[in-house]
Amino acid sequence: MDKNSKRIDKVYLVFIFLFSLIVLKITYLQLFKQDFFKRLAHGQHYKIVRIEGKRGNIFDNKGRILATGMNFYSIFADPSSIKINKIIEPLAVNLSLSEKFLKSRLEKKKKFVWIKRRVSWEIKERIKSLQLKGVGFIREEKRVYPQNHLAASVLGITDIDNKGLEGLELYYNKYLRGKDGFVRVLQDSAARQIILSSQIITPQRGDDILSTIDAQIQYWTKTYLEETIKKFDAKQGSVVVMDASTGEIRALANYPSFNPNNLDSKSFENIKNKAICDMFEPGSVMKIITLIAAISENKTFDNQKIFCENGKLKIPGSILHDWKPFGELTFREVFLNSSNIGIAKIVQAITPKIYSTYIKKLGFGEITGVDLKGEVPGSLKSFSKWSKTSNYIIPIGQEIGVNLLQLARGFAVIVNGGYLVQPHLISKICSQGVCETVPYKKKKVLSSLVADKAKDILIDVVFEGTGKRAGIEGRKIGGKTGTAQKYDPKIRKYSSSKYRATFIGFIADLNSPLVIAVTIDEPLKSNFGGVVAAPVFRNIADKVIKYIEGERFLVSQ
């Protein structure tokens, strides 16, 4: 055998050896690695995509929609199958995105990245018409609020993934949020299109909730509050309208407010629900505690008059003033005229220690339990920490911190016959057509007799006292004004220019009496609660009476 033949044989043997190795390798891969390659192929062609469960709606107490979802489209891309330089410019121009942002997303070593979430159908169609390779669309829900600013502080907001962040959206998120489904996304071999496979886990819709808010009452409340803030050049203000018997909140408004459909950097300054999150010294509205305590303890100075020192009384560590000089006043006249000195003398007759128990009895110093996050309990020192000055100034609303909803609840005790109710914003939760009523607490803290006597005096306060501007002819309107100097920590004393004007009142002669609580912070053109806040009460009350009684008339027909 010549040398050439030997070389050919060697080459042939090498070829056979290499071919055998290849066959063995293929056999090994097919027999032992087939599951691995199946998974790899699926990973290259399939993507598990979450399908968001539709979020439940929020309704007012008449079934009007306050919050719902609308279908939008989200744009995504597969960075592994695109040519960045060809798609960055058209995406940037049509989606109002920076090329730098798009490049940072499209350079990721992933099979799936979001480009822009929840765009309109028109924008989706515009992008679709460009036929950009590796770009696709998924339909998603976006939370919308049909009434815009209306009840924004109550409803709150959601994030980009429809998770509640504030308000009822946050508090009831576990009910409102639906259960997500999943679908496999299949891309063809040329990466030209996205096909949804038949393998899908169906998403489940969230529960609907029926709120206690009445959109019509909420509208009037918001409107009159805003008008007042602007009229008196005030810093801010809040109003609560609550059913005194049940604790159902018919309206809750803060101003300045925000539009949850159009959030910007300024919106986040106004998201805080000031009606429950702001703590302030209430001023003379706190005199209802003295009224209740004195009636309960039989310290009403029957057939006697209280000498109010002609407007100036020396007390431990300070001098107590009245807003104008008073001589002798009856028990009733002390409240009609809102005399600080008269109140101080009544409290000394009750004794400050007994008086302090009534503050707690009406729920001050603790949260009301309203179904919103972030409520402050207020500030109430234990009696052992009261100073000798405290005995005189806490009864007139200083050295104590409250929120507006606490004040509304305290007045509700007087008008509902002595019950401390739990304020709330939701009445029913509905799942798949079945609704369950949400239970709330209510406890007796005063006798009906005491509550009725206190109510009559507060009606007199509006009829002929400091609350006249809250009155409505022919109606039983009661309430109490409050004009509180604000403490200035910079100068470590009460400001001579900054005030909080408050009026808390009630409509006693409705089938179910309502409490309306108004507070206006730092009004500039006037600072009296009777001038600034009482007219807000009257305007809202006038509309509400006609609305409720007109509705009742129509039903009876």
CATH no. of 215-258+275-556: 3.40.710.10
In the block, tokens 């009434």 appear at 147
- Could you tell me the pTM of the whole model? 0.85
Q: pLDDT tens digit string along 175-206?
A: 999 887 776 665 555 444 454 555 667 778 89
Long-range contacts of 333-336 (CB under 8 A, 24+ apart): 334/306, 334/308, 335/287, 335/291, 335/457, 335/458, 335/460, 335/461, 335/465, 335/480, 336/457, 336/460, 336/461, 336/464, 336/465, 336/466
**251: which strand partners?**
241
Please provide the distance, in angstroms rounded to a whole number, between the alpha carbons at the two ends of the chain.
123
Closest CA relative to residue 253, chosen from 231, 235, 236, 233:
236
Least confident of 176-185, 404-413, 419-428, 478-487: 176-185
Q: How confident is the model at residue 28 (pLDDT cuts 50, 70, 90)?
A: low
Q: Where in the chain is CATH 3.40.710.10?
A: 215-258+275-556
pLDDT at residue 444, as a whole number? 97
Q: pLDDT tens digit string along 291-336?
A: 999 999 999 998 899 999 999 999 999 999 999 999 999 999 999 9
Least confident of 7-21, 34-48, 154-168, 236-250: 34-48
Region of residue 436 (left: phi > 0; alpha: psi -120 to 50; beta: else) = beta
36: helix, strand or coil: helix
Q: Where in the chain is CATH 3.90.1310.10?
A: 48-211
Q: How confident is the model at residue 230 (pLDDT cuts 50, 70, 90)?
A: very high
Q: pLDDT tens digit string along 335-391?
A: 999 999 999 999 999 999 999 999 999 999 999 999 999 999 999 999 999 999 999
Q: Quote the CA–CA distance of 142 and 205 in Å, as a whole number.
A: 14
Q: Which fold has domain 48-211?
A: Penicillin-binding protein 2a (Domain 2) (3.90.1310)
- Position 557 pLDDT exceeds 50: no
Q: Give me the chain's average pLDDT, please.
A: 89
Q: pLDDT tens digit string along 470-503?
A: 999 999 999 999 999 998 888 888 888 999 999 9
Q: How many residues does the chain have?
A: 557
